[in-house]
Structure 1
């Protein structure tokens, strides 16, 4: 039994980003080496169950194998692998040591190692998605929904290219991420449901199982049904790699949405903007030399984690290539998929904690809006002039904005002085005039859109709001 301090570990995922014991235990249940061996054992058990169902072995064999795998330890399997230099043969040997002579022949019967490996991976990633990943993503989605609804009427200056644009609301801005993240949660759910297994032998042609079954695909279906999986439409020694590729892509894409959200939030936390802030603990330090600083460390951490794990997707794409019926070029690289999952979950859990305590500075939001609110009316003004027949409304308003910046007078004041534009100004309705006089009301349907987005995704993802 290997025992070491977490601070002797090499991966930051173990010694830094899994310090919360409850999170580490959740991750470990599905993604540890112990879990991997447990899932591989479950496939071996499903195999003998299907053999018994088809009259090849007895139910007593099933009982023996079930008892044997309940006693297995990863330490034992790894010790055996030192001798066999083959992980699945080591697992099989360890199971066979614990069963009767009558049961031994049926363990791993007609299968190849990657019948077990690929099927076990599909099973554990499917269950990880259903029981851990998706519920955690939905928890963050709910927090974002609550912010969007709470701030749906908080007028905020819109920004494009880093410049002030026309107004939105802060809730509308957050609803963007409710929608984007909602799409990704749905993609994770669908791609996880579609993960496949195989029990088709060394090259996928059912060579061995066809010795005993006239319809070996039906036997394969029986084995996989025990695990709640379907068979890959076609397999070689491995399952078609696109199923797992699509699943991991959905995770990385979801991670990208969180990186984008975090980037937005950290920029809104800049000193000169100051519209949002992270909760800051009473003993927390922002800088080793500048005691006044409060850095957006959590949002920066999420972006940094995304930068670390996003490039792994390239390796997953490379694992789509396997020579002929299979080579070993994915044997090491595919083992790092659990790290991608843990990296994502670590960041999601961090954002849940941060966003639950998100501080919105309404005074600064208002101050930033008012900084350029007179220029905001340029868009509605030009559109209204055009609607009343002005032949070159955009240019007319552009010139007025330059004059306003130089003279300090408002656009509304300048247009009323303009003899050329006076006829158009006099045609404005009360509603149109109101938008020009009160630019903070020029928010379109931002508030309603935030509500609609939240309603749509809460229903689609079955998220119940308080």
Structure 2
């Protein structure tokens, strides 16, 4: 643990710093500054390549290589200098421009490029691309792997427990049997859809000046196809081009991504609560880890803290993500600044999301299915065969089938002797009576096992619902 963690306001940078690993380094303030530098430098390289000699004489290959090297990493001293400039002028992107002019002044190309840093740009041209690149990093390097790990664990356990019968519960009450594998497969399939949607998602960007009309571009070089130049520049980052904006990219695509993440969080919230309940019913046993403490006063306790922690952080994450998804697409006239401070908290929402996903994955690694408990619970509730019995009676034309079985089972425990006596009194065809008498809750699972075993096939189906 680092001493700085003790002074952190957010638990993401304090208590949970180690759980998030290098997430902060890859998507935090330093990462955003590096991306801003990258966009500024790549824009001047783009002008050099696409408009040779129109603004400044062509850069030598070694000069281009030197500039490209600057996009790869920002050293701590440069970060501090940029933040110092920002504190002096009170503008984060202008600080980048001044730093680039200052830091390249002694290079051979420095004086030549000095007038052209941030040429025909507004700060939001730089910022919207830089933010999109940071968010994409958070998704590709952190969210997608974490989500895939949960999905894969559930898929593997679904296959292992595909035929492990389990009492289901609707409204919290015993209902027709299922299998543990089928119930885990339900979540694996939903998370597979969420993963697929996130994986397909593309961020968008704009690069069209102060109010989205290329005003400065056209006044400087009226014969350039600035729309095509802007589109191709944005595409070079792997981003989609937004052709019609005000000063800011309107954040519609960002809001869509935030909604995708928050919807995934809701799936995982349901998973966490269900697993918590199954642990409480002893359907899962938790692994005891030597040295860990579950309670300050009750030595026997092993609490489902990983799923409880996930539940808390999922709620926090969605509070942030849902607010941002509603807030960011709205801006007064051609732009107000309220989106700027708000979107600085996207990282917090994604950070709480990632933390919860990693907590769930850790919790999964500590539980195993207790098949004996599952079987005992099924054996205690033979009344769940009521659906099977009344359906067999309907098949042979008994119009009062539902009412008969309701009177026999509702609010009662159905024991074998009672069932045998009812079969004799009901004058059923021998083959139907025998079929009912041989019913067993553990075997009355429909196609649950087959559905669980086909999970991989279902996940691979094209055009599946998200």
1:322 aligns with 2:331: yes
Q: Which runs of 5+ in 2 are unaligned?
A: 105-109
Q: Map residues 170-185 of structure 1 onto 2, 5 A cutoff.
A: 170-185=180-195
Deviation at residue 124 of structure 1 after TM alignment:
2.0
2:361 paired residue number: 352
Aligned in 2, Cα 1:414/1:429: closer, same or farther, shift over 3 Å?
Answer: closer
1:118 paired residue number: 128
Aligned in 2, Cα 1:32/1:299: closer, same or farther, shift over 3 Å?
Answer: same
* Alpha-carbon distance between aligned partners in 1 of 2:458 and 2:297, rounded to the nearest angstrom: 47
1:447 aligns with 2:449: yes
Which of 318, 326, 351 is equivalent to 1:310?
318
Q: Map residues 359-398 of structure 1 onto 2, 5 A cutoff.
A: 359-372=368-381, 374-398=382-406
1:390-431 Cα offsets, whole Å, 9 max, x none, are 1121111101115954x956553243132xx323x435297x
Deviation at residue 145 of structure 1 after TM alignment:
0.8
Contact 1:400 1:414 in 2 (8 A): no
* Alpha-carbon distance between aligned partners in 1 of 2:386 and 2:177, rounded to the nearest angstrom: 12
1:93 aligns with 2:103: no
1:293 aligns with 2:301: yes
1:241-291 Cα offsets, whole Å, 9 max, x none, are 110001111111111111111100111111xx2111332212222111222
Question: Comparing 68-77 with 154-163, which one deviates more in the overlay?
Answer: 68-77
Contact 2:214 2:226 in 1 (8 A): yes
1:283-323 Cα offsets, whole Å, 9 max, x none, are 22211122222211111111011111111133211221101
2:440 paired residue number: 438
Q: Map residues 12-411 of structure 1 onto 2, 5 A cutoff.
A: 12-20=11-19, 23-25=20-22, 27-54=23-50, 55=52, 56=54, 57=56, 58-60=58-60, 62-63=64-65, 65-66=67-68, 70=73, 73-99=78-104, 100-191=110-201, 194-211=202-219, 212=221, 213-270=223-280, 273-316=281-324, 317-372=326-381, 374-402=382-410, 405=413, 410=417
1:354-384 Cα offsets, whole Å, 9 max, x none, are 2133221111111111110x20210011111
Deviation at residue 227 of structure 1 after TM alignment:
1.6
2:107 paired residue number: none
Deviation at residue 351 of structure 1 after TM alignment:
2.1
Aligned in 2, Cα 1:326/1:350: closer, same or farther, shift over 3 Å?
Answer: same
How many pairs align?
A: 445
1:154-179 Cα offsets, whole Å, 9 max, x none, are 11101111111011110001001101
* Alpha-carbon distance between aligned partners in 2 of 1:217 and 1:334, rounded to the nearest angstrom: 27
Contact 1:29 1:35 in 2 (8 A): yes
Contact 1:262 1:303 in 2 (8 A): yes
What TM-score results when the alignment is normalised by the length of structure 2? 0.90
1:298-353 Cα offsets, whole Å, 9 max, x none, are 11111011111111133211221101111111111111111122212222222222
Q: Which runs of 5+ in 1 are unaligned?
A: 462-466
* Alpha-carbon distance between aligned partners in 2 of 1:402 and 1:128, rounded to the nearest angstrom: 52
1:425-457 Cα offsets, whole Å, 9 max, x none, are 435297x447x5322111011111012123332
Provide the secondary structure at the position in 2 that maps to 1:332. helix
1:428 paired residue number: 432
Provide the secondary structure at the position in 2 that maps to 1:379. helix
* Alpha-carbon distance between aligned partners in 2 of 1:403 and 1:141, rounded to the nearest angstrom: 38
* Alpha-carbon distance between aligned partners in 2 of 1:364 and 1:303, rounded to the nearest angstrom: 26
Contact 1:45 1:62 in 2 (8 A): no
Question: Comparing 294-303 with 136-145, which one deviates more in the overlay?
Answer: 136-145
What TM-score results when the alignment is normalised by the length of structure 1? 0.90
